[in-house]
Structure 1
Amino acid sequence: MISVGSGDDEQYGSSTRGTMETAAQAVLRVPWDDDAGARTADLYDWQAAMAAADALRLVHDAVADDGCLQPDIAAEVICEHHEDWTVIVGTSAELVSAKHRELDSGAWTTVNQLVTKGGLRHLFDRWLSLNKLPGLRLVTCAGLKSGECAEVDEVARLLRDQAQGVELSQESLALIAKTLQKVAKELLCADGAELPGHLTGPVKSKWVDLAEDDARIETLRAFLSRLHIDKERPSRKHVAHAAPSMYMAPVLKQMRKGEVPAGAAWEAVLDLFRARMRSAGPIPGGMLPLINAAAGGSAVGTTAESQNRELARRRITIADIEIAIRLAIDNLEAYLPVSKVVYQSPLSVKMDIGRCNDTSIARAEDLRSEYLRYYRDRDETAPGEMAKRRAVNRWLLKVADEETATIPNRSNAWGPELWRALSDRLVDGYAADDSDPDAIQLDGDLALGGVCDLVHKCKVWFSPAFDVKAELARRRAQLRGAM
């Protein structure tokens, strides 16, 4: 949920500049620090995807019934500005902190986790620096464990209800009071916390018990009432598959383009955010230098101009996104993923499921063909020829069995390990031994090709056994559907 546009910004307006300042004006005016820090590429991509999802929500809401973007709606996303991104709609603004949490870490469990690892302390500091004007949102892929962590989310909702005139029960008021004390402990009593003077005062170390009329409690009430915890996002392992249908398909439907592949349009929009997250978006003046104008005395190299130029690299308007979507629609081939080879032989399918790479699969198919050609060229009617071939197959099956037994973990797939072991034994280290029948005249590559033929006949496996015919039928149906 994007919560900008709540309409209550003006109650926190500042008159220090002579006029009431809106949240959007404060966000754009106040300088920001570069807080991107070191992130891995996949976490950058996850954040870019989540910011793109927010922007697509704005586009969806701004598209009229005729499928066109309404021209009078001003909305944009600014990446890595004050927080991971900032959403601006009209005069309202919302700071968004995105915190990915791995599946093995589980849900958020404590208020301390939300404040430190969940980024609420940074949101609180930014909110104070912006005169308590913007809305606030924590985006995460992890839920909130029942107890004090879930109560923060519940209290935020209750405070919003109360601000709208809803009369709360005594139980709800008691929950608000208890949770405010817990949040105060983490936000106001943290070591090294830098707070304005009206938020500091005598408090016991690591704990705070503030009276209900304390100005600090009122600040915390205002903070939580502006906070939304968006905890329904997919993890980085699933977002690539889930995002097109979750985020792009509804926008295409609203634009009357429901027949367009959502994956292509999603990639076009995501590319915008990948660049803006690194402050690498295009700007109107390109890379022309900032200088002082020679005539008229207008300074185009001022600090304000530099800040605007930097903002331009990070901002994406809903018009930018609509253009990207329509360009993708007109150039689908440029954005559709490259089709993966659909393997259609028992050997290739079994190696694919066994997680062998494409080059190994191609080599295996070629070696099997050479092995079969070798025996076609021999006179199989010669006395004892068939017996010799059966002896070869028995020996090759014995080799495959021995090498499979040496693999330590066979719970899922072991294709690369077995392929490497067979290649080492039969090709790189090939030599006749006591177990090699005198009748075997194969070189190492042909011997490996013979094992590939055994794989094709379902006598050697690179993974737990499965219904090969059913898998082949599924893949052939997939291939027909892609045509």
Structure 2
Amino acid sequence: MQGRSGGTSMVDAAGTGVGAEGVGTPSEPGVLNGSAPALFELAPDEDSGAETLGRYRYQAEVAARDCLAMLTQDAIDFVVCEWHEDFVVAWTDGSVELVSVKHREGTRGPWTLTELCKDGGLTHLFDRWCACECAANVRLRLATNAALKPGKDNAGTLARMCGPEPELTAGLTAMAEAVARQILKVRWKQPYPNVPDTPEVRRLADIQVPAGFVEKVVRFLAVLEISCDPPQREHITDVNIQRLLVPAVERLQLAHVDLEDTYRAIVDRIERANRDESDRSQLAVYIADPSRVRHSTRMQQRIGRRRITREMVRQEVAYTTVQLPTFPRGQAPVVAPGGAKLNRKLRRGLVPSDEAAFAERLRSAWYTTWSERRSGLAGDESDLLNLSIDVLEMAFECRRHARAQAADGSGFGITMNDLLAERLKVDALPTPPPFQLNNLHLRGLAYQLCDECLYFFSEPFDADEEAS
């Protein structure tokens, strides 16, 4: 997937509503008051996502495709499970993509242009796009498992005319007019607040198209992608595991991953976010313009309950019970650079020389593991920082207990080292590590942090001066 281009703000500094077509002023920044139009309260009839558990599951599995992409791509920031859309993809460049998922049974054949506008979610996406003020940073995707009917004036041709760089441009205005009339016809039976309500007529050609509406549809098509990539319901699980999860596991160099359990856990997590019905307002307008939500704790919590981040996906990785070796098999052990300051600190803390030598081996084990398991993405540094903070907190706790047990003026390094071996466990971490580690790897990281002079096994001293 390609990143999206950034866009302009959709509201003024006061946080007023999101369009001239009927969106009200919030009673507090980012929160709509009771006079807001039905858009923010209406549970759509045709797209509530509650018809069957199978449909819920399929929508979650389509969303899982973007969530799995986060494991190996920096372009996606997070995914939010929506009420009106099936999900919203927030890109790191500030753009957002509203995604509507439409599963179609094979017995119904390919989508026609009329069906795509009525039952296929096209009018629905147009209405949501209008609610977002047609902002330049908002993109749209209609994801379906079904084919599109070919023909000059049908759905297959429409798909080729969509996007900022369409494959086909000849006849675009005529296609936009046909789509505009279909959208206006759908509005007669379904209450889309951002679609003009025109008088009902018998013939499609007799619909009175409002001035400027066709041009607006042309702009709509320029930000729309119609994707037939999602597999059929009975195949999507296997396809997602083999084409998305397996390559991600290999890229991240994770070992002993239970693929089926991991995938099931990720989809379950998405389903739980998708079923959080405590708030039914449309969130895309807030995600597209974060200034609307920045000062509203309530709206932040609403979006937070539905947000799926890269870290959340990684936390769902399930491992088999096979113990991870301290050094990778089939490779010569790598000696970590540095180590002199660690040795001086352990010696000052009166840690025996054999335990100090073992500490150096564990530091090399951590160095090798981190070098192989890091993904190479920008998130590596934050992953390492979060893990280091957890390990440092445990090291400081062990030092406090060691000091408390030592007599005044006596060394406490030996006791502190014993407490590290006893308490620094993967299971004791407040958050799961970014990839599979064993307890010895954590101790190796602790010794590395000591070598970086982030803590001591004695009272602090100048390790560089002692070396001279």
Please classify the TM superposition score into its range, dividing by the shorter chain length.
0.5 to 0.7
Task: Give the residue type in structure 1 aligned to 2:98.
Answer: L
Structure 1 residue 279: Cα displacement: 1.3
Structure 1 residue 153, shift from structure 2 partner: 0.4
Return the structure number with greater helix share: 1
Q: 1:155 to 1:54 in 2, by over 3 A?
A: same
Rounded Cα–Cα distance in structure 2 between residues aligned with 1:41 and 1:193: 24
Structure 2: runs of 5 or more not aligned: 20-25, 33-39, 279-294, 324-468
Distance (Å, rounded) in 2 between the aligned partners of 1:19 and 1:235 = 42
- Percent identical across equivalent pairs? 27
SS for the counterpart of 1:139 is strand
Match runs of 1:270-285 below 5 Å: 270-279=267-276
Aligned length: 282
Structure with max Cα Rg: 1
Query: Match of 2:160?
Result: 154
Q: Aligned pair 1:57/2:83, yes or no?
A: no
Displacement after TM superposition at 1:9 (Å): 2.5
Pair 1:231-2:228 in alignment: yes
SS at match of 1:232: coil
**Counterpart residue type for residue 132 of structure 2:** L
CA distance in 2: counterparts of 1:204 and 1:246, whole angstroms = 49
In structure 2, do the counterparts of structure 1 residues 29 and 223 end up closer, same or farther at CA, with 3 Å as the change threshold? farther
Distance change in 2, residues 1:29/1:188 (3 Å): farther
Aligned-partner Cα distance in 2 for 1:154–1:209: 27
TM-score (structure 1 length as normaliser): 0.51
- C-alpha contact 1:78 1:315 (8 A) present in aligned 2: yes
How far apart are the structure 2 equivalents of 1:129 and 1:213?
Answer: 18
Q: 1:22 to 1:9 in 2, by over 3 A?
A: farther
Say whether 1:218 aligns with 2:210. no
Any residues of structure 2 matched to 1:39-50 within 5 Å, and which?
39-50=51-62
State the alpha-carbon separation in 1 of the partners of residues 11 and 304 from structure 2.
27
Q: Is the 8 A contact 2:72 2:251 kept in 1?
A: yes
Alpha-carbon distance in 2 for matches of 1:268, 1:54 = 15
Amino acid at match of 1:187: I
Match of 1:131 in 2: 133
Question: For structure 1, which runs of at least 5 residues remain unmatched after alignment?
Answer: 63-72, 163-167, 282-302, 334-483
Cα contact 2:50–2:56 (8 A) shared by 1: no
Seen in structure 2, the aligned counterparts of structure 1 residues 7 and 39 have a Cα distance that, compared at 3 Å, is: same
Distance in structure 2 (CA, Å) of the matches to 1:212 and 1:116: 17
Distance 1:140 1:197 in 2: 24
Distance 2:72 2:56 in 1: 24
Q: State how 1:19-418 maps to structure 2 within 5 Å.
A: 31=40, 33-35=42-44, 36-62=48-74, 75-90=77-92, 91-108=94-111, 110-133=112-135, 134-147=138-151, 148-157=154-163, 160-161=164-165, 172-190=168-186, 191-192=188-189, 206-208=203-205, 214-257=211-254, 260-279=257-276, 304-325=296-317, 328-329=318-319
Q: What's the offset of the Cα at 1:197?
A: 8.7
| Residue identity matched to 1:84 | D
C-alpha RMSD over aligned residues: 3.8
Give the distance between the partners of 2:86 and 2:194, measured in 1 at CA: 27
- Aligned partner of 1:6 in structure 2 is 4
TM-score (structure 2 length as normaliser): 0.52
Check conservation: 1:143, 1:232, Cα contact below 8 A. Answer: no
Q: Distance in 1 between matches of 2:73 and 2:256?
A: 20
Q: How far did 1:44 drift?
A: 1.1
Note if contact 1:14-1:20 (Cα within 8 Å) is conserved in structure 2.
Answer: no
**1:195–1:104: structure 2 CA closer, same or farther, 3 Å change rule?**
closer
* CA-CA distance at 1:313 after TM superposition: 2.2
- Given the superposition, is the C-alpha separation of residues 42 and 14 from structure 1 closer, same or farther in structure 2, using an over 3 Å criterion? closer
1:204 to 1:174, Cα distance in 2 relative to 1, 3 A: farther
Contact kept? 1:155, 1:176, Cα under 8 Å: yes
By how many angstroms is 1:129 displaced?
Answer: 0.9
Which structure is higher in RCO with an 8 Å CA cutoff and minimum separation 6?
A: 2
Offset, 1:87: 1.0
Q: Is the 8 A contact 1:32 1:81 kept in 2?
A: no
